[in-house]
A and B are shown apart, each in its own frame.
Chain A
Amino acid sequence: MELSRSWRVVGHLALLICCLAVAAPVAVVLATALKSPAEVFQPSLWPSAPTFDNFATLFGKARFADYLWNSAGTTVLRVGGQLVIALLAAWAFARFAFRGRDTVFALVLGAMMIPHLLTMIPVYILMARLGWFDTWAALIVPNLAMPFAVFLLRQHMRAFPRDLLDAAEMDGAGPWRALWKVVVPNLAPALAALTIILFVECWNEYFWPLLVTESEASRTLQMGLREFLESDGYSDFGAMMAGVTLASIPAVALFLILQRRVMDTFVASGLKG
């Protein structure tokens, strides 16, 4: 829809101001990260002699290599597991008619509306009983069942052309093979969008790792960042901004690669149903 000229001007102005408000802090972080220690406390937006010394500090003074490994490993395993488990559940809802389906689906949707903060104490106690503190399992297993992913995939599966499925099943493929050979390959855009969402959520997670990682070697990047902030006594802002940059790069990079596809799928899949 085309707005009138004056509204278009207002729109561009409002959006430009918002974009500036987003971009300014990002620019400050990048500039500070690339400055030499001597220059950090001068508020110029461009370092006179850009250097990666601050990044070297992270790996020299703190164990950022360990943190990166923990974050990457747990994120890949958890997102992979979430996708598989959600595909199976979504397929059950989309492909089969069975007694209690609507009730179970309502329970799954209901879980989407229960924030972690309401369930953390018993899950924490369970982790303690299992002896899972400081392990990847504690970061991965409690979050494997992902109601939002089930919901999103079910929406996309229901929109799947019936003829294709019938043709596949006529060729003798059961529901299991139809899922992996026909449905999944055709869900690529939705799976890409979902992967980004799950990746960002896991990579950026703060509260749960705060509870279940205690030893230095088990920390994720976000925990390492927090730890560095405190152990450093809030003084080396150059290295801290380098850490902020480093922690943000993977999610932003993944997003930039898949940007158009993710945005369009996300917008088109909508929140219907």
Chain B
Amino acid sequence: MTDAALASSPAGSSAGARLPLRLRLAGAAPWLYLAPTLAGLGLFVYWPLIHTAILSLSEWNLNPDQPARFVGLENYGRVAASTLFEHAWVNSLIYVGASIPLKVLAPIPLAVFVWSMGSRGHAYRAILFLPTLISFVAVAIAFLWILNPIFGYAKAWLAVVGVRLPALLTDADTAIWTIIAISGWKVIGFNMLLYLAGLASINRDLIEAMRIDGATDGTILRRLILPLLTPTIFFVLVSTVIFTIQQVFTPIDILTEGGPQNSTTNLFHMVYQYTFVTFDVGAGAAGTVMLFALLMAVTAAQILALDKRVEYGS
């Protein structure tokens, strides 16, 4: 950051004199190109992480006229002891846990099927990618209508086969699974595309060679394709774990607002409620720090697990 700041001072004068100045600036040039990105990331990503940690140690209600008061770790204790946190914490684990089979594993066979079809699979690819383009607000509102317990299409269609549609979103037992299913609907196509990107880098000659040696589809899949796809699977796994809690915020906010009886809230929605509904900034920041720690721990565990696998493989 400081380098970029220093380098930006001669920037204004470089426009006038051309060659000699350019030579003198050679060392600063890359920093000038980087300056906007580094300023943006510093101001809106890295500094806020630190600022959040500071806020988590204070009591403040977002009112600029009222100074923040240092309270130490009090916020953490208060948040951890609340029933909202208990629900949010357990639900976050459910959201993340359910996402792994649904969003990380299920798209793998789909991607392999599409990939094996060559250009004939393009139509499938395009249709399955469609939900990626539609906003989560639109998706949530659409499902609110489809699942409407009185007039919804799902009810009418299920009635044809003699099934009565329960009120999925107002029942504490089913609401969270409904939101998970909707978020799966939205994300599977995108993750499938990530796997297709991974599959595209596999050398098809290797497959032919194995085929000539008499290998079956199953052997090729287990011995060649899955090992070569491991980095992509890992990438999808890490990003799914990190972003799921953020991603389901929109359907939670629109469909259930965390209810019924906190059955669909998660740590992100909890932070939102603390900070922007009750203006308890300290508690919101403390929740954010805990969420950060959770995400880092899970990601680190995944990296360690992958390192083991790589060593085992080589």
Contact = CB atoms under 8 A, between A and B. Distances in A.
Interface residues on A, range: 35 or more
B180 interface: no
B189 to A, nearest CB: 7
B150 to A, nearest CB: 9
Contacts of A85: 36-37, 40
Given A204-B137, A206-B137, A226-B137, A174 B22 contact: yes
B55 A121 contact: yes
Contacts of B198: 270-271
Contacts of B281: 121
A11 B117 contact: yes
Interface stretch (B79-87, B108-116, B171-179): B108-116
B232 A271 contact: yes
A52 interface: no
Interface residues on B, range: 35 or more
A111 B41 contact: yes
A114 B246 CA distance: 11
Interface in B250-275: 250, 253-254, 268, 271, 275
Contacts of A4: 217
Interface string B111-147: 0111111000110111111111111111101111110
B51 interface: yes
A71 B80 CA distance: 39
Interface stretch (A141-149, A160-168, A184-192): A141-149
A3 B116 contact: yes
Contacts of B57: none
Given A101-B30, A271-B235, A117 B39 contact: no
Contacts of A116: 246
Contacts of B284: 121
A225 B141 contact: yes
A211 B125 CA distance: 35
A21 interface: yes
B89 interface: no
B312 to A, nearest CB: 22
Interface string A38-56: 0011010000000000000
A126 B52 CA distance: 12
Interface in B40-56: 40-41, 43-49, 51-52, 55
Contact of B193 (A14, A147, A267): A267
Given A28-B153, A145-B40, A92 B33 contact: yes
Given A88-B34, A206-B135, A240 B145 contact: yes
A240 B141 contact: yes
Interface string B234-256: 01001100110110011001100
A135 B292 CA distance: 29
Interface in A99-120: 100-101, 104, 107-108, 111, 113-120
Contact of B36 (A18, A89, A225): A89
Contacts of A12: 113
Interface of B: 3, 22, 27, 29-31, 33-34, 36-41, 43-49, 51-52, 55, 62, 64, 109-110, 112-117, 121-122, 124-139, 141-146, 148, 151-153, 155-157, 185, 188-189, 193-194, 196-198, 200-201, 204, 207, 217, 220, 231-232, 235, 238-239, 242-243, 245-246, 249-250, 253-254, 268, 271, 275-276, 281, 284-285, 288, 291-292, 295, 299
